[in-house]
Structure 1
Amino acid sequence: MSKQSPYVVQPDWLADHLDDPGLSIVDASWYLPAQGRDARAEYDAAHIPGAVFFDQDLVIDPDSSLPHALPSPLVFEQHVSAMGISRDDTIVIYDGPGMFTAPRVWWMFRLMGAETVFVLDGGFDNWKAAGRAITAEPPRIAPTAFVPHYDAARVAMFDEMRAIVDDRSLQIADARAPGRFTGEEAEPRPGMRAGHMPGARNVPVMSLSENGYLKDLDGLRTTLQAAGIDLAKPVVTTCGSGVTAAVITLALESLGTSGHKLYDGSWSEWGSRDDTPVEAGPAGAPNA
């Protein structure tokens, strides 16, 4: 039997450890408009006991016009400290359907120096369906001090991404749906060109999980390799706004790869400019 990612925890484990000291549970749900779900309203109605809500539209760079732009370490510290989360806590992050938006917050915590961070396998929808404990009670929060240790090497910003596309120094893995990647479907955000970055490979976010549960290591390896990703070489991950790209990052780290980055601006930045190269159709020649 293939091993599971070391960065996920199973629902049974979390159910048995809800009262552990030093455990922080984070609801990181966020939805596209087309999904017709309100993450905050759902959290207020029901969440895992003790969970705090991490608003991915609020914990951002307030000076950026891009959606979900990565906050500075100081801004992250302010928000997360108010949630009562310490960098030394065991942090378990979940979203509604599982393996959709929780990995973005998992990546952010690790980027800011937290080491014991996990994603709940299966998400909250499966947690509820199994009849596990839920509550509408707001958690009791004791503000603390989350002191970040920011690792800038894990992030690709625009100028670096432009160089990566030009010199093919890293492989590019795009988590958007196939129709958006090929340009056959319009982007959901207005004013954005369709297609993908030259040399990119398509790894649709849903291809890495089954029913909200992250594939085992053999399944992740097979999926990434089938998409044309060479696991012996570094990768930069991207998507629509930098959120689901983190699911690919989670898969790569689960397999023990190193040297990869996440392009924070993603297609919201690249596709909205008129000075960036864009290709349509399926992936072409291999990148890096």
Structure 2
Amino acid sequence: MNNAKLAAKSNQQQSLVQISDNVTFGREEIIIIGGPCAVESYEQMETVAEKLHTSPVKALRGGVYKPRTSPYAFQGMGETGLKVLAEVSHKYNLPVVTEVMAISQIEVIAAHADMLQVGSRNMQNFDLLKELGRAGKPILLKRGLAATIEEFVMAAEYILSHGNSDVVLCERGIRSFDNYTRNVLDLGAVAALKQITHLPVIVDPSHAAGGRELIAPLSRAAIACGADGLIIECHPVPEKSVSDAQQALSLEEMIDLVHTLVPVAFSVGRKISNRKVLSRKCAHY
């Protein structure tokens, strides 16, 4: 990895990426992000936040600009969805992560979200990565569906080299010849990235599995091999999700899963703890 100047571990200690007052990637605590693939309504997101905000889930996910394989599929709520995320985030003191697809979206998303996600399809959208280096917001960079580890690290290097040191890497599975799972979760890459970079690394078991029945074991394996966090899809009524219904957990399943991860984290010297419920209005006391 000779070309990686800023992402390389060398003598630099583990980077810490803070997205809110009480959520920081790279520390002892495993950070869990949960929520639906797509923001569908205020009622949907409030239900999700109300259920998760006292659990060990520390941040919300939800797409408002959706990159879909079919041009006829639901493309997201756009700016209206961003306002929904911002309102729910403020009410329940949960930072939010959402995807940015184009340079033109950066400013409006940065005004509403705590962390900007670069999806798999955009991992090598170098113009977008350069602008995100100037965005002043933490970035969650997902691995491309056929990207090598070196290509993944060099994509992060684009963001770092343009002034943004707050980058979290996300392994979300890579494409293979086997179609039993949606993708193949490369946990070897997680272990390797922890050795060769100083950046936090999290795992998306939902997009790797493509089916909810595999998410729990993949989540446990991810923590066991050194992941700093997980981003998992869940929905109030998974079967009615407008996107990725087959891989979304129910909110009850999500909470149950996170609690089963506690002993796994402990076994590798990490921890998962419940949030301290504190409204933003009284955060200064």
The bucket for the TM-score relative to the shorter chain is under 0.3
Query: TM-score when scaled to structure 2?
Result: 0.27
Query: TM-score when scaled to structure 1?
Result: 0.27
Q: Larger Rg: 1 or 2?
A: 1
